[in-house]
């Protein structure tokens, strides 16, 4: 397996070209990375913003050994303008870039990849997001996990981009067990440590501990089962105080029942200082923990911190 890591360019009408170049300028190990995306669009976008960065078009990762500049594995895309609104053309392009990265990783041509932000609408409601899309391609049987991580704290939503009205029916013992066993295995493999897992309840004040609540029927028995397996796990705790009591402890993971239950307080605390890691795949996949920011595309105003953190994380995995 090569030490190469791909950066999937993601949504073209976005800040992606900007944050990729800004982040790569901060690393001294550019030779490990290459971009999967449209060469012409990428070059025109960074030129428009005024970012000086030398790139070379490649048609195969074998070409990386023969170029001096940064490589862009060219994927066809015919745009009318360099920042064009989302269309079926864009959707097919973004999915093709993701598929190329997946195939290279599965066939051990690269160690993993970072995907720059994409819009969920490209999945046409078939998948909730990139996490689930790659989980299906990896045949994880719903064991894939979205982990939002930094050095101080991590959070894990059991359900991801799901409407609130549909959350309750998704919270099942099997889901809790699958996701948290995947989490525990990942921490042991990459950090040689058990995570301290803090599980939240679904309802305000854990439904006041009512006998027939989801906390008592489903969440508590699942936690007891996982404790017997040796996981360092506690809960369920009321969500309103969990981040006050448990933030800034190394290897602590706060597990929420739904996306914004843990993402909203986490981002309030750490803003752009986090990365999105998909656990349970056959390779490493990381992404910045923010959206496409179309409103500032082409204005050279984007904060590249999360992309920098993504690159730094995979550089450490490469060591």
Domains 1-127 and 141-280 share a fold: yes
The span from the CA of 272 to the CA of 129, in Å, is 20
CATH architecture of the domain with range 1-127: 3-Layer(aba) Sandwich (3.40)
Looking at residue 8, its pLDDT comes to: 97
Enter the pTM of the model. Answer: 0.91
CB 165: neighbour CB atoms within 10 A? 7
Rg over alpha carbons for the chain, rounded to the nearest Å, is: 20
Residues 6 or more apart in contact with residue 101 via CB below 8 angstroms:
6, 8, 36, 110, 113, 115
- d(CA 137, CA 160) in angstroms, rounded, equals 18
How much is the pLDDT for 76?
93
pLDDT at residue 248, rounded to an integer? 56
**CB-based contact 5:314 (threshold 8 Å):** yes
pLDDT score for 318: 57
- Given a contact cutoff of 8 angstroms between Cβ atoms, the answer to whether 4 and 110 are in contact is yes
Instruction: Return the pLDDT at 258.
Output: 96
Quick one: pLDDT at residue 84?
Answer: 76
Q: What average pLDDT does the chain have?
A: 90
> Each residue of 114-163: pLDDT tens digit?
999 998 888 887 888 898 999 999 998 888 899 999 988 999 999 988 89
Q: Would you list the domain boundaries of the chain?
A: 1-127, 141-280
Tell me what pLDDT residue 260 has: 94
What is the pLDDT, as a whole number, of residue 2? 67
Thinking of the domain 141-280, which architecture would CATH place it in?
3-Layer(aba) Sandwich (3.40)
Counting as low any pLDDT under 50, the low residues of the chain are 1
């Amino acid at each position: 397996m090569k030490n190469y890591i791909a950066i999937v360019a993601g949504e073209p009408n976005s800040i992606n070209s900007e944050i990729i170049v800004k982040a790569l300028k901060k690393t001294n190990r550019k030779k490990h990375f290459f971009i999967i995306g449209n060469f012409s669009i990428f070059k025109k976008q960074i030129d428009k913003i005024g970012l000086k960065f030398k790139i070379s078009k490649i048609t195969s990762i074998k070409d990386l050994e023969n170029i001096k500049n940064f490589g862009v594995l060219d994927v066809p895309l015919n745009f009318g303008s360099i920042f064009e609104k989302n269309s079926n053309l864009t959707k097919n392009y973004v999915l093709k870039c993701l598929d190329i990265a997946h195939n290279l990783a599965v066939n051990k041509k690269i160690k993993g990849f970072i995907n720059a932000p994409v819009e969920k609408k490209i999945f046409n409601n078939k998948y909730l997001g990139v996490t689930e899309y790659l989980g299906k391609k990896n045949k994880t049987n719903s064991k894939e996990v979205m982990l939002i991580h930094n050095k101080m704290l991590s959070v894990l939503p059991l359900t991801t981009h799901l409407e609130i009205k549909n959350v309750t029916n998704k919270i099942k013992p099997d889901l809790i067990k699958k996701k948290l066993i995947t989490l525990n295995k990942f921490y042991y493999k990459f950090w040689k440590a058990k995570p301290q897992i803090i599980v939240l309840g679904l309802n305000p004040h854990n439904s006041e501990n009512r006998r027939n609540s989801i906390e008592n029927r489903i969440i508590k028995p699942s936690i007891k089962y996982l404790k017997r397996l040796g996981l360092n796990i506690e809960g369920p705790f009321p969500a309103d105080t969990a981040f006050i009591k448990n933030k800034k402890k190394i290897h602590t993971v706060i597990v929420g029942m739904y996306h914004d239950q843990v993402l909203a307080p986490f981002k309030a605390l750490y803003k752009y200082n986090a990365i999105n890691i998909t656990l349970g795949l056959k390779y490493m996949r990381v992404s910045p923990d923010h959206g496409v920011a179309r409103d500032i595309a082409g204005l050279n105003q984007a904060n590249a911190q999360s992309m920098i953190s993504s690159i730094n994380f995979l550089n450490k995995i490469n060591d």
